[in-house]
Amino acid sequence: MTGGRPIMGVQRRSFSAEFKREAVKLVTEQGLSVAQAARDLGIAANQLHRWKHQAAADGKLAFPGHGNPKDAELAKLRCEFELMRRERDILKKAVGIFSQHQP
């Protein structure tokens, strides 16, 4: 690889979330060493180490596929916050209008 890009014709392999979970289970539940499990699966040991750490850190949110659920949740919360801010501003204006018209 050069500069982070694959060399001519070499494709980056991708693995399903299910494959990653099962690979991690080989190490965590069945007691295989990371090196042995990686050899059996035909992947690099450091890749399996990363998956194992990711599974330990994120639990069921590990291996989300395309995009990050944490980023999606943050975007959703930002949208909700903006909506609440607009609603608050409308209510402030309404209070101001109604308080002016009272005798």
User: Is 27 within 8 Å of 52 (Cβ atoms)?
Assistant: yes
Whether 58 and 28 share a structural domain: yes
Question: Quick one: 56 and 76 in the same domain?
Answer: no
Considering the domain architecture, whether residues 53 and 74 belong to the same structural domain is answered as no
pLDDT recorded at residue 75: 82
Length of the chain: 103
38 and 47 Cβ atoms separated by less than 8 Å: yes
Domain count, the chain: 2
Cα–Cα–Cα angle for 34, 36, 42, rounded to 5 degrees? 95
Summarised one tens digit per residue, pLDDT across range 3-23 is 556 666 677 788 888 889 889
pTM: 0.54
What does the alpha-carbon distance between residue 100 and residue 54 come to, in Å, rounded to a whole number? Answer: 58
Domain that holds residue 32: 1-65
CATH of the domain at 27: 1.10.10
Distance CA(49)–CA(20), nearest Å, equals: 11
Residues 41 and 61 in one domain: yes
The dihedral built from the CA positions of residue 11, 17, 18 and 20, taken in this order, carries a sign that is: positive
| 2 or 81: which leads in pLDDT | 81
On whether both 50 and 13 belong to a single domain, the answer is: yes
